[in-house]
Amino acid sequence: MKLLAGAPGWTTTADVIVIGSGVAGLTTALQIRASGLSVLLVTKAKIDEGSTKWAQGGIAAALGPGDTPEQHKKDTLIAGADLCDSQAVEVLVSEGPEAVRKLIARGAVFDKSETGEIALTREGGHLRNRILHAGGDATGAEISRALLAAVRSDTGIEVIENALALDVLKSATGRVCGVTLHVIGAGSKDGVGRGLARAVVIATGGLGQVYSQTTNPSVSTGDGVALALRAGAAIADVEFIQFHPTVLWRDAAAGGQQPLISEAVRGEGAFLVNDKGERFMVGKHPQADLAPRDVVAKAIFTQMKESHSPHVWLDATGIHDFVTRFPTIYASCIENGIDPTKQLIPVAPASHYASGGVKVDLHGRTTIDGLYACGETACTGAHGANRLASNSLLEGLVFGTRIAADIASGLPAQQEPIADASPAFLLRADVKLPLQLGMSQGAGVMRSDSSLTETAALLERLSHHTSDAPGLDTWEVSNLYLLAVAIVRSALAREESRGSHWRSDHLETRPEWRKRVIQHLDASGKWSTSFEEVK
């Protein structure tokens, strides 16, 4: 199965193609260069677009006095609701500190305490202060700045902006040997073309745009997961969509990317209250307002249902240095008519992070030869059923480094692509809104067999709205559609509540469901589901 697109009109070649320019793609590209291979880095919009530059709270690593990778591992496993791959977590937490030191060596500047040490804060699910941050609440922007500067100064990395990856190219042996791209550019690389490479790394970020309200930017349409599915790769854990508890609530009609109020605000002392001014997290969990994200999101959702209110409130008025500690959040609150130093902030959960994605091993290898996945696109298993706060940037650093090491250990010669005779598919751009609304309604914070079945029926109806007009909008919506189907199928299969997957008809967590749901799409477009025991 492939996206409907014109025939490639140009060809370019590199040793490795990296798709995406967030923390995962940039880190992978830079690390690959250490082995002297050439890299083509393609990115759908401008190079700094993506979730990375929006990251607020920080990056987690056991760097503080008395902290250890073991303690970081423990917190990660607990947040992951018994579904983490323990080896992947081990890799993440034990290689994390070195990966962060390397990032600092590459030029990223983190905030310091009065004594000159790196300042560490706390977020939900962490039992210690272990979150490094930059510019107060502009951690992602600083990481992106530092990595982009390093990429720009490396002549062995060719960057093409406005280059949307469509589908992989495979050789007669079934190995991935390139990718089709659509470039909006000038000169020879314009329109649909072929990028040929000895390995391809997908680092296309998240899929928040599957839902009507999300913290994710507009480029987060799950393209990489959809591309991998069409290539025949396995995807895992996609039912575990993390809803961030505290997203600024503006009005019911607000759609697309919404401003985040970082968990670090609660880490610095803010707390949630309901319409009656009562603190509802106290007594609900030993960590109260700093419980893991799924616990807080569910409690907010319950409060909203009980009070028939579209939001709850965050009281941050006690944070004396709010303006300097959280300058980005302060500015977005003020822009929306709220002074967080004097007023309560209206907040509600919104889709934030995909804990699942393209199934990879500890070296970032997908189930298809020659194809790697890294960052939010990938499912290493490190996040289980609910990612621990600030473990995502870290995952991009750690696994990007591992992928580069695997690639450096040897790649076959460039192989020739063969023609892809599988059916082409494309949906109309106007499918997007009903799809997003349907997913928020039926496959959101709380799901049930009936809500998911209704959503599946909606998606089936939308699948008939086909298009013969290839373009950015129609490609993106076709990717969103595949992701929506995958999420609904996995959520329907998992008859229990666990982590960020909450079924109103199966409220209990069941030990027999300590397994991952794996989805496949065959060349004709037929889905299949299998299950895998958690390691």
Q: Two tokens at 471?
A: 């373009």
Q: Which residue in the set 17, 18, 41, 42 belongs to the binding site for ligand FAD (CB under 6 A)?
A: 42
Of residues 442 through 471, those in contact with ligand FAD by CB under 6 A are none
Q: Two tokens at 407?
A: 């690639």
Please state the separation of Cα 249 from the chain's center in Å.
Answer: 21
Q: Would you say 270 or 439 has its CB closer to ligand SIN?
A: 270
Q: Would you say 52 or 519 has its CB closer to ligand SIN?
A: 52
Cβ of residue 46: shortest distance to ligand SIN, in angstroms? 22
Stretch that binds ligand FAD, among 40-48, 76-84, 360-368, 523-531 (CB under 6 A): 40-48
What is the total residue count of the chain?
535
Cβ of residue 125: shortest distance to ligand SIN, in angstroms? 10
Cβ of residue 392: shortest distance to ligand SIN, in angstroms? 5
**Which residue is at the shortest CB distance from ligand SIN?**
57
Q: Would you say 50 or 195 has its CB closer to ligand SIN?
A: 50
- Tell me the H-state helices in 251-380: 263-267, 293-307, 322-325, 327-335
HSE-up of residue 204 (Cα within 13 Å, Cβ side): 30
d(CA 503, CA 34): 46
The percent of the chain in helix, strand and coil, each rounded to the nearest 5, is 35, 20, 45
Stretch that binds ligand FAD, among 23-31, 318-326, 328-336, 459-467 (CB under 6 A): 23-31
23 part of the interface to ligand FAD, by CB under 6 A: yes
d(CA 278, CA 391): 31
Instruction: State the binding string over 235-264 for ligand FAD (x if CB under 6 A, else -).
Output: -------------------------x----
d(CA 191, CA 52): 27
Q: Which of 195, 157, 315 is nearest to 246 (CA)?
A: 315
In sequence order, the 6+-apart residues with CB closer than 8 A to the CB of 252 are 310
Q: Which of 117, 184, 106, 205 is nearest to 150 (CA)?
A: 106
Residue 494 appears among annotated catalytic residues: no
Q: Would you say 163 or 316 has its CB closer to ligand FAD?
A: 163
- Provide the β-strand partners of residue 315: 271
Q: Two tokens at 235?
A: 């995807």
User: What is the contact surface with ligand SIN in residues (CB under 6 A)?
Assistant: 56-57, 262-264, 353, 389-390, 392
Q: Would you say 1 or 264 has its CB closer to ligand SIN?
A: 264
Kindly name the residue from 194, 293, 325, 387 that is annotated as catalytic: 293
CB burial of 53-87 (b: ≥16 within 10 Å; e: otherwise) equals bbbbbbbbbbbbeebebebbbebbbbbbbebbbbe
Count of residues of this chain found to bind ligand FAD when the rule CB under 6 A is applied: 45
Q: Which of 205, 251, 494 is nearest to 357 (CA)?
A: 205
Instruction: State the binding string over 369-408 for ligand FAD (x if CB under 6 A, else -).
Output: ------xxx------------xxxx--x------------
Place of tokens 């690389």: 189
Cβ of residue 260: shortest distance to ligand SIN, in angstroms? 6
Greatest distance between any 2 Cα atoms in the chain: 67
Cβ of residue 44: shortest distance to ligand FAD, in angstroms? 4
Instruction: State the binding string over 175-204 for ligand FAD (x if CB under 6 A, else -).
Output: ----------------------------xx
Concatenate the DSSP letters of all residues of 246-271 into one string. Answer: EEE---TT--EE--B--HHHHHTT-E
85 part of the interface to ligand FAD, by CB under 6 A: no
17 part of the interface to ligand FAD, by CB under 6 A: no
- Provide the β-strand partners of residue 12: 195
Cβ of residue 273: shortest distance to ligand SIN, in angstroms? 18
Among ligand FAD, ligand SIN, none, the one that 355 touches (CB under a kind-dependent 5 to 8 A) is: none
357 part of the interface to ligand FAD, by CB under 6 A: no
139 part of the interface to ligand FAD, by CB under 6 A: yes
What is the set of active-site residues? 293
Q: Which residues contact ligand FAD (rule: CB under 6 A)? A: 19-25, 42-45, 49-52, 54-59, 139-140, 163-165, 203-206, 215-216, 219-220, 223, 260, 353, 375-377, 390-393, 396
